C-alpha cells in the first residue's frame, strides 16, 4: 500500500476529540460494511471485486481488448454516468489528457449527452479509420446511450455489413435481462456483465471500466492488484487511511465546511476529479445533506478559483491527491540573457517546481482558513490508480454512514427523467 494521508495541514481546524469521535464512528461504519449490515447492503458487491471476479470473463475482456487493438484505430465507448466516467478517468490518468492525440487507438466516449453536434463529431472522427464499439448499459434503455447506440449500430452495419459489425460491437450489460442483452444475444455481440450488486458509480473495476481501459492498452492486472492491496488494508474497520479520510471529511462537514475541493497538480487527473464528483455527489447528496464536491487542477486554477479559495467564504476544504514520482520530467535550462528572470530555476526540474507550488499553496490556503488534506500515492501508474479507486469507494461508503444516508441509492436522479418521459410522450408516462 503506497497511499499515505498527510494531516499536518488540518491543525487548528479539528480538535483531537472531534477527530477521535469521528474515527470511532468510521471504524464502526467500516465494520458494518464488512459484515454487510449497512444501509444499501444489496449493492456492496464492489467490495470484493479485486479478489472475487469471474476469471473466465476477465480472460475474455483481455482477448476482446486485444482484438479491438488489432482491428481498430477508434473505439467508441457508449455510456453515461458510471458507464463512462471510470474508464475515462483511468485512461486520462494513465495516458494524459492528450491520450487520444498521441495513442494508436483513440477512445471516444459518446452517448453521455443529448447534443447532436457532439454525436456528429464522433462520427466525423471515425472517418477513414477502423472502428469498434463498446456499448455499456445495464438496461439498454437509458435515453442518452440508447440514442447514440441506435446511430452507431446503423453506422457499423452500413459500413461493415451486419455480420462483421456484430464482431466489432461489444456489449456490457445485465447478465440475463434487458433490451441490450436480448439484442446482443440475437445479433451475436460478445457480452460482458454489469453485476446486479454493483451500482454504476462503483463499477469501474467490473467489465464496465476494465474493457475500455484494457483496449486503451493499459495493464488491468496491475489496477486490480492495486485495488486488492487496498481491499486487504481496509478489510477491518479502523486503523487505515481510508477510514481516517472519511472521519476527517465528515468532521469538517459537521464544522461547517460544506464544499470539498478535489485538487491535483497534474492535468491528467481532470477526469478522475469528475469520477470523484459522481461518486461523492451521488452517494452523499441526499435528504438535504451532503458535502458539495467541486474540483480544480493547480496551478492552472490558482489563476481562476485561487482568489476565492484564499479569501472567499470560509466553507471550503481541500483534498489534494499528490504523486511522489512523475512519468516524464523536464529540467529548466539556463538562458545567457535571462530575458525572463527565470535563471534562478535553472537546473531544477519542472516536477520540483510543481511540488514547491503545492507546498506553497498548502501553506497559503491553511493561513487563509482552508483545511487541507494531502493524499499521497506513488505515481500516476496502474497500481496507484487501482489503490485510489478502492480508497475513495471505501471512504465514500463510510462517510455516508457518518452522514446517515444510504451510499448506494440515487432516488433524486429519477425526478427529471419522469418529467422528461412525460413531456416526450413515452409509453407508460401520461401527460
* Binders of a copy of itself in range 65-104 (CB under 8 A): 80-82, 85, 96-98, 100-102
DSSP-assigned beta bridge partners for residue 264: 297, 321
Min dist CB 357 to a copy of itself, Å, is: 5
- Give catalytic status of residue 393 as yes or no: no
Identify residues 251-290 at the interface with a copy of itself (CB under 8 A): 258-259, 265-268, 274, 277-278, 281-282, 284-290
End-to-end CA distance of the chain: 55
- Give catalytic status of residue 106 as yes or no: no
Please answer whether residues 225 and 1 qualify as being in contact, where contact means their C-beta atoms are separated by less than 8 angstroms.
Answer: no
- Give catalytic status of residue 376 as yes or no: no
Please answer whether residues 101 and 47 qualify as being in contact, where contact means their C-beta atoms are separated by less than 8 angstroms.
Answer: no
- 303 part of the interface to a copy of itself, by CB under 8 A: yes
Distance CA 430, CA 417 (A): 13
Please answer whether residues 6 and 374 qualify as being in contact, where contact means their C-beta atoms are separated by less than 8 angstroms.
Answer: yes
C-alpha cell at 179: 433490451
Position of cell 526540474? 349
Q: Running DSSP on this structure, what letter comes out for residue 14?
A: B
Identify residues 385-424 at the interface with a copy of itself (CB under 8 A): 410-413, 415-420, 422-424
Q: What is the DSSP string of 54-87?
A: -HHHHHHHHHHHHHHHHH-SEEEEE--GGGTHHH
- 167 part of the interface to a copy of itself, by CB under 8 A: no
Distance CA 302, CA 298 (A): 6
Binding mask 195-214 for a copy of itself (x = CB under 8 A): -----x--------------
Active site residue: 282, 284, 318, 393, which one?
Answer: 282
Min dist CB 22 to a copy of itself, Å, is: 19
C-beta closer to a copy of itself: residue 224 or 374: 374
Distance CA 249, CA 263 (A): 14
Identify residues 17-46 at the interface with a copy of itself (CB under 8 A): none
Identify residues 121-140 at the interface with a copy of itself (CB under 8 A): 121-122, 124-125, 140
Min dist CB 307 to a copy of itself, Å, is: 4
Closest listed residue to residue 243, CA positions, set 424, 140, 90, 390: 390
Please answer whether residues 269 and 237 qualify as being in contact, where contact means their C-beta atoms are separated by less than 8 angstroms.
Answer: no
Active site residue: 11, 16, 303, 431, which one?
Answer: 303
Q: Which of 48, 71, 163, 307 binds a copy of itself (CB under 8 A)?
A: 307
Question: Length of the chain, please?
Answer: 431
- 176 part of the interface to a copy of itself, by CB under 8 A: no
C-beta closer to a copy of itself: residue 17 or 415: 415
- 318 part of the interface to a copy of itself, by CB under 8 A: no
- 159 part of the interface to a copy of itself, by CB under 8 A: no
The three-state secondary structure class of 236 is coil
Q: Which of 158, 159, 311, 404 binds a copy of itself (CB under 8 A)?
A: 311
Distance CA 263, CA 227 (A): 21
Q: Which of 2, 4, 73, 310 binds a copy of itself (CB under 8 A)?
A: 310
- 151 part of the interface to a copy of itself, by CB under 8 A: yes
Please answer whether residues 421 and 259 qualify as being in contact, where contact means their C-beta atoms are separated by less than 8 angstroms.
Answer: no
Give me the active site residues, please: 282, 303, 417
Amino acid at each position: 500500500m503506497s497511499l499515505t494521508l498527510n494531516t499536518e495541514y488540518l491543525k487548528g481546524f479539528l480538535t483531537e476529540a472531534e477527530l477521535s469521535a469521528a474515527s470511532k464512528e468510521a471504524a464502526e461504519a467500516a465494520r458494518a460494511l464488512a459484515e454487510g449490515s449497512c444501509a444499501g447492503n444489496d449493492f456492496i458487491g464492489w467490495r470484493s471485486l479485486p479478489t472475487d471476479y469471474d476469471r473466465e470473463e476477465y480472460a475474455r475482456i483481455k482477448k476482446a481488448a486485444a482484438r479491438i487493438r488489432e482491428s481498430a484505430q477508434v473505439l467508441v465507448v457508449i455510456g453515461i454516468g458510471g458507464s463512462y466516467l471510470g474508464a475515462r478517468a483511468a485512461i486520462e490518468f494513465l495516458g494524459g489528457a492528450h491520450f487520444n492525440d498521441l495513442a494508436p487507438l483513440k477512445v471516444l466516449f459518446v452517448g453521455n449527452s443529448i447534443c447532436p453536434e457532439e454525436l456528429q463529431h464522433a462520427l466525423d472522427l471515425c472517418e477513414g479509420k477502423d472502428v469498434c464499439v463498446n456499448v455499456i448499459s445495464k438496461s439498454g434503455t437509458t435515453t442518452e446511450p440508447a440514442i447514440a447506440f441506435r446511430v452507431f449500430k446503423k453506422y457499423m452495419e452500413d459500413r461493415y455489413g451486419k455480420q462483421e459489425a456484430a464482431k466489432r460491437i461489444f456489449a456490457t450489460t445485465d447478465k440475463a435481462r434487458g433490451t441490450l442483452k436480448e439484442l446482443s444475444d440475437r445479433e451475436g455481440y460478445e457480452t460482458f456483465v454489469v453485476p446486479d450488486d454493483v451500482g454504476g458509480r462503483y463499477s469501474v473495476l467490473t467489465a464496465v471500466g476494465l474493457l475500455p481501459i484494457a483496449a486503451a492498452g493499459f495493464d488491468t492486472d496491475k489496477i486490480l492488484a492495486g485495488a486488492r492491496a487496498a481491499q486487504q488494508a481496509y478489510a477491518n474497520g479502523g486503523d487505515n487511511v481510508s477510514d481516517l479520510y472519511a472521519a476527517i471529511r465528515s468532521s469538517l462537514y459537521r464544522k461547517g465546511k460544506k464544499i470539498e475541493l478535489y485538487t491535483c497538480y497534474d492535468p491528467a487527473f481532470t477526469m478522475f476529479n469528475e469520477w470523484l464528483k459522481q461518486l461523492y455527489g451521488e452517494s452523499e447528496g441526499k435528504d438535504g445533506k451532503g458535502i458539495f464536491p467541486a474540483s480544480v487542477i493547480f496551478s492552472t486554477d490558482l489563476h481562476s478559483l485561487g482568489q476565492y479559495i484564499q479569501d472567499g467564504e470560509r466553507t471550503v476544504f481541500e483534498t489534494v491527491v499528490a504523486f511522489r514520482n512523475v512519468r516524464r520530467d523536464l529540467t529548466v535550462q539556463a538562458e545567457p540573457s535571462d530575458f525572463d528572470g527565470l535563471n534562478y530555476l535553472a537546473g531544477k526540474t519542472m516536477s520540483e517546481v510543481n511540488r514547491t507550488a503545492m507546498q506553497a499553496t498548502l501553506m497559503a490556503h491553511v493561513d487563509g482558513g482552508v483545511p487541507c488534506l494531502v493524499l499521497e500515492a506513488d505515481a500516476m501508474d496502474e497500481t496507484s490508480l487501482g489503490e485510489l479507486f478502492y480508497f475513495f469507494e471505501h471512504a465514500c461508503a463510510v462517510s455516508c454512514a457518518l452522514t446517515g444516508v444510504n451510499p448506494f441509492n440515487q432516488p433524486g436522479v429519477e425526478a427529471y427523467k419522469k418529467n422528461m418521459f412525460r413531456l416526450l410522450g413515452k409509453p407508460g408516462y401520461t401527460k
